[in-house]
Chain A
């Protein structure tokens, strides 16, 4: 395998493959570096296709010397051609990558599978995270499956469904009186003096690698081809940038041909530091205090914001923001046209796709992939009251008087 070191994205300084995430010299983020030069495209493709039906089929591109033990797998979720959605939006070809079809119903199973495997390899007995909900579900579940103790930190106002779907796994669930950025700051401070693997703090470089597998899957499921455009949500910006990194690695190895697709980021107006910086032409994000129904994207101080901006600009894309009403409409649009019920984050992404289509940003011959990261059952409040139920007595007369008579 090709994993080499941790490398600072800002200054290039290298570090050993340990529980490190910040460059001592410039405070830049560390990222896993690989030497892919020895990988032969044809042989790698055969290995992938003969591999397990999980993210581990891409083990050559993950940060391990040999395939690790993994108690709860993730990945190989459906890529669904969405012709009815495309027709409604007036665009040619849309595919929905439905990552709600993971063990805990969000893309977070990918990152947690990688982070936990690395945490165990590094000898940690306790795992933890700062979460907006989906990560909480995933860390609690994967820790339970692996028999590790876990501490999950969430903002106190999180959706009840996400709280219940975390506590059930037997984790130590800590509700913090503050927003996600407060939770994140607390976890960063706690990580300094505890021998715990905080998946999105001190082992974050490995965790982030899991998101690359979404890019690999999209390319593999399209027959080892790239789409023209990817529309994906932006919270910390890690998923958004790592999908692109996955494509770049496969281009380097020669598994796919062409250029990195156009990347469109999706945020909620009530928490849009990246969209705001994009519109203003800034290369860094000004933090905001989130106020949106899209709680899984409610990160006001996004760690990878500068890199998300850079990716959107470099590929001719954009980062847009949509209102809470547009988010609800986006959830309904996706459900009505594809049969996929997504959470608020997917509503943000679908609403952003609609916005791009209405603005005429999408070319007539484009193949677009819409990245749906989570499950609608986790944010039921977003659809409450959005439709009517007809109540009838259990008689034909009642049905006919209230609904429809027989022809």
Chain B
């Protein structure tokens, strides 16, 4: 088992087209992202700034926005699904 990460279209240029990937040994969302940054060149500067997520990036664990959980410190477990999405959609 591992943690599954769903990649939005806008990031697939840096993931060689991959829409989904997995990370094995991460205990928090922050560690999942660090693992991705290590794996994919150019990912970090697209979605992060000064150690935090950029303001138009949403990250979900099991469908819940991490800002309702513990942010980058949110604990993840084997089998969890982490979704990265642009925040700029929507409007009644």
How far, in whole Å, are A23 and B68 apart by their CA atoms in the complex? 25
What are the residues of chain A within 8 A of B57 when measuring CB–CB? 27
Interface string of B61-90 (1 = CB under 8 A from A): 001010110000000000000010111111
Q: With A25-B46, A27-B86 as given contacts, are A303 and B91 in contact (CB-CB < 8 Å)?
A: yes
- B8 contacts A26, C-beta separation under 8 Å: no
- B91 contacts A188, C-beta separation under 8 Å: no
How far, in whole Å, are A23 and B58 apart by their CA atoms in the complex? 14
In the assembled complex, how far is the CB of residue B12 from the closest CB belonging to chain A, in whole angstroms? 9
Q: With A26-B46, A27-B56, A204-B89 as given contacts, are A286 and B63 in contact (CB-CB < 8 Å)?
A: no
Task: Tell whether B39 is near chain A: CB-to-CB under 8 Å.
Answer: no
Name the residue on A nearest B84 (C-beta): A27
- B54 contacts A26, C-beta separation under 8 Å: yes
How far, in whole Å, are A238 and B92 apart by their CA atoms in the complex? 10
How far, in whole Å, are A131 and B90 apart by their CA atoms in the complex? 8
How far, in whole Å, are A111 and B92 apart by their CA atoms in the complex? 11
In the assembled complex, how far is the CB of residue B4 from the closest CB belonging to chain A, in whole angstroms? 13
- A297 contacts B92, C-beta separation under 8 Å: yes
- A10 contacts B56, C-beta separation under 8 Å: yes
What are the residues of chain A within 8 A of B89 when measuring CB–CB? 21, 130, 184, 187-188, 191, 198, 200-201, 204, 303
Contact of B87 among A27, A191, A208 (CB under 8 A): A27
Name the residue on A nearest B83 (C-beta): A189
Task: Tell whether B5 is near chain A: CB-to-CB under 8 Å.
Answer: no
- B91 contacts A22, C-beta separation under 8 Å: no
- B19 contacts A303, C-beta separation under 8 Å: no
Task: Tell whether A218 is near chain B: CB-to-CB under 8 Å.
Answer: no
What are the residues of chain B within 8 A of A24 when measuring CB–CB? 10, 13, 46
Task: Tell whether A350 is near chain B: CB-to-CB under 8 Å.
Answer: no
Name the residue on B nearest A186 (C-beta): B63
In the assembled complex, how far is the CB of residue A172 from the closest CB belonging to chain B, in whole angstroms? 19
- A131 contacts B65, C-beta separation under 8 Å: no
- B6 contacts A189, C-beta separation under 8 Å: yes
Name the residue on B nearest A345 (C-beta): B92
Task: Tell whether B47 is near chain A: CB-to-CB under 8 Å.
Answer: yes
Q: Give the A interface residue count (CB, 8 A).
A: 51
Q: With A182-B63, A185-B63 as given contacts, are A306 and B55 in contact (CB-CB < 8 Å)?
A: yes
- A28 contacts B85, C-beta separation under 8 Å: no
In the assembled complex, how far is the CB of residue B59 from the closest CB belonging to chain A, in whole angstroms? 11
How far, in whole Å, are A21 and B55 apart by their CA atoms in the complex? 15
Contact of A29 among B47, B63, B88 (CB under 8 A): B88
Task: Tell whether A329 is near chain B: CB-to-CB under 8 Å.
Answer: no
- A27 contacts B91, C-beta separation under 8 Å: no
What are the residues of chain B within 8 A of A185 when measuring CB–CB? 58, 60, 63, 83, 85
Task: Tell whether B9 is near chain A: CB-to-CB under 8 Å.
Answer: yes
- B46 contacts A238, C-beta separation under 8 Å: no
- A236 contacts B9, C-beta separation under 8 Å: no
- B67 contacts A299, C-beta separation under 8 Å: no
Task: Tell whether A114 is near chain B: CB-to-CB under 8 Å.
Answer: no
What are the residues of chain A within 8 A of B56 when measuring CB–CB? 10, 22, 26-29
Q: With A22-B10, A185-B63, A189-B6 as given contacts, are A287 and B88 in contact (CB-CB < 8 Å)?
A: no
- A22 contacts B68, C-beta separation under 8 Å: no
- A284 contacts B92, C-beta separation under 8 Å: no
In the assembled complex, how far is the CB of residue A102 from the closest CB belonging to chain B, in whole angstroms? 14
- A108 contacts B87, C-beta separation under 8 Å: no
How far, in whole Å, are A243 and B22 apart by their CA atoms in the complex? 44
How far, in whole Å, are A131 and B55 apart by their CA atoms in the complex? 23
- A27 contacts B92, C-beta separation under 8 Å: no
Q: Which of A73-81, A132-140, A383-391, A399-407 is near enough to bind chain B?
A: A132-140
In the assembled complex, how far is the CB of residue A141 from the closest CB belonging to chain B, in whole angstroms? 15
Quick one: which of B46, B47, B60, B90 has the most chain A CB within 10 A? B90
Given contacts A24-B10, A134-B92, 11 further A-B contacts (CB under 8 A): A26-B54, A132-B92, A185-B58, A185-B63, A192-B19, A193-B19, A238-B91, A239-B91, A289-B68, A302-B90, A304-B88
Q: Give B contacts to A, CB under 8 Å.
A: 6, 8-10, 13, 19, 46-47, 54-58, 60, 63, 65, 67-68, 83, 85-92
